[in-house]
Amino acid sequence: MTDEDDDGAIAGGAGDDTDDVAAGADGDETRLSRRWRALDRGWQALCLGLAIVAAHLVIYPV
C-alpha cells in the first residue's frame, strides 16, 4: 500500500501527518522546530516555497 495521501497532503489538514515523525516529539527541541511542527504541511510548503522565491529575488535581481 502507499501512505501517499497526496493529496493527503494536499488537504493540508486532512490526513496531514506532519506530526508523524517521532524525533523530538518529547519536547526536547528548539522553539523554531516546535513552531514549525505546529504548522500543517500546507502552510509549511507555502512558507518554504516563498522563502525559495525570496532567495531567488535576492540572487537574481531584475
**Under the rule (CB under 8 A), what is the footprint of another protein?**
1-18, 20-24, 28-30, 32-33, 40-50, 52-53, 56-57, 59-62
Q: Provide, rounded to whole angstroms, the least separation between the CB of residue 38 and another protein.
A: 14
Check if the beta carbon of residue 33 is closer than 8 Å to that of residue 24: yes
CB of 57 to another protein, least distance (A): 7
- Grid cell in block for residue 27: 519536547
Closest by alpha carbon to 27, among 38, 17, 16, 18? 38
Task: Retrieve residue 61's grid coordinates.
Answer: 535581481
Least separation, in Å, of the C-beta of 42 and another protein? 3
